[in-house]
Amino acid sequence: MASSPFLSKTTISFSSSISTSLPWRSSHSSPSFSTAFRTKPRRRTLTVQSKIREIFMPALSSTMTEGKIVSWVKSEGDVLSKGESVVVVESDKADMDVETFYDGILAAIVVGEGETAPVGAAIGLLAETEEEVAEAKAKAKSASSDSPASSSPAAEAVTPTPPPATSTPAPAIAQPSPPATYTPKKTLAKQHKVDIASVVGSGPFGRITPADVEAAAGIAQPKKTVAAEPTPVSAAPPKPSAAPSASSAPLLPGSTVVPFTTMQAAVSKNMLESLSVPTFRVGYPISTDALDALYEKVKPKGVTMTALLAKAAALALAQHPVVNASCKDGKSFTYNSSINIAVAVAINGGLITPVLQDADKLDLYLLSQKWKELVEKARAKQLQPHEYSSGTFTLSNLGMFGVDRFDAILPPGQGAIMAVGASKPTVVADADGFFSVKSKMLVNVTADHRIVYGADLAAFLKTFAKIVENPESLTL
Active site (catalytic) residues: 449
Given a contact cutoff of 8 angstroms between Cβ atoms, the answer to whether 310 and 370 are in contact is no
Between CA 406 and CA 411 the distance in angstroms is: 16
Given a contact cutoff of 8 angstroms between Cβ atoms, the answer to whether 87 and 73 are in contact is yes
Q: Distance between alpha carbon 28 and the CA centroid of its chain, in Å?
A: 70
Between CA 221 and CA 215 the distance in angstroms is: 7
Q: Taking phi first (over 0 means left), then psi (-120 to 50 degrees means alpha), and beta for anything else, what does residue 175 get?
A: beta
Classify residue 100 as exposed, middle or buried by CB count within 10 Å of its CB (0-12, 13-18, 19+): buried
Query: Is the C-alpha dihedral spanning 91, 93, 97, 99 positive or negative?
Result: negative
SS3 content of the chain, % helix, strand, coil (to 5): 30, 25, 45
Helix (H, G, I), strand (E, B) or coil at 454: helix
Between CA 398 and CA 408 the distance in angstroms is: 10
Helix (H, G, I), strand (E, B) or coil at 352: strand
Between CA 146 and CA 138 the distance in angstroms is: 12
Between CA 72 and CA 109 the distance in angstroms is: 9
Residue 302 is given by DSSP the state T
Q: For 5-57, what is the HEC assignment? A: CCEEEEEEECCEEECCCCCCCCCCCCHHHHHHHHCCCEEECCEEEEEEEEEEC
Which residues, 6 or more positions from 369, have their beta carbon under 8 angstroms from its beta carbon? 302
Considering only the C-alpha atoms of the chain, give the largest distance between any 2 of them, rounded to a whole number of Å.
126
Query: What is the per-residue burial (b if ≥16 Cβ within 10 Å, else e) of 220-237?
Result: eeeeeeeeeeeeeeeeee
